[in-house]
Amino acid sequence: MRALCAALVLLAIGCGEDEAEAGALRGSVSRVYGLGHDGVRARLSNSELAIQYTAGREVPVQVVVDLGAMALDGPASVDLASDGDVIGRRGDARLPDLKSGTLTLEAYAPKAGARVAGSFEAVVTAKGDDYTLVGSFDAPLEDLR
């Protein structure tokens, strides 16, 4: 019985690590749009905070918070449909349009080098079909202001 309990605990811990992998992207949208990327960065400008999943010089997924729509000075939850967007481009392909989504900033401060960490969940739509997109991130903030 102890061995079974120990195995279940180890399995649960292992599953949690996979889910929390910083920089991960997944979702049903991968059936119609490539999610492959080689890095993640966080950038702050005068008008927006952008979490960018990069593939070479391309940004196939970018989660944007419109700083004109909301003040952001620390950890927060953001309704992306009203205060942001999820966009992306890979070659000639564009990420389907955002229908709904939430960004959760677990760590954030608006200063260069600050840790930006969290996750997002989104539903995107193309040709009448809805797809999921989920990601996590952990990166130092690049202040471009």
Q: What is the pLDDT of residues 42-96, one digit of tens each?
A: 999 999 999 999 999 999 999 999 999 999 999 999 999 999 999 999 999 999 9
Which residues are 55's β-sheet partners? 58
Task: Read off the tokens for 100.
Answer: 């709904």
Quote the CA–CA distance of 69 and 47 in Å, as a whole number: 9
What is the residue range of 91's domain? Answer: 22-143
For residue 116, the SS3 value is: strand
pLDDT at 4: 35
Which amino acid is residue 17, in one-letter code? E
Question: Looking at the predicted structure, is the pLDDT value of residue 13 above 60?
Answer: no
Instruction: Please check whether residue 135 lies inside any domain of the structure.
Output: yes
Q: How many domains does the chain have?
A: 1
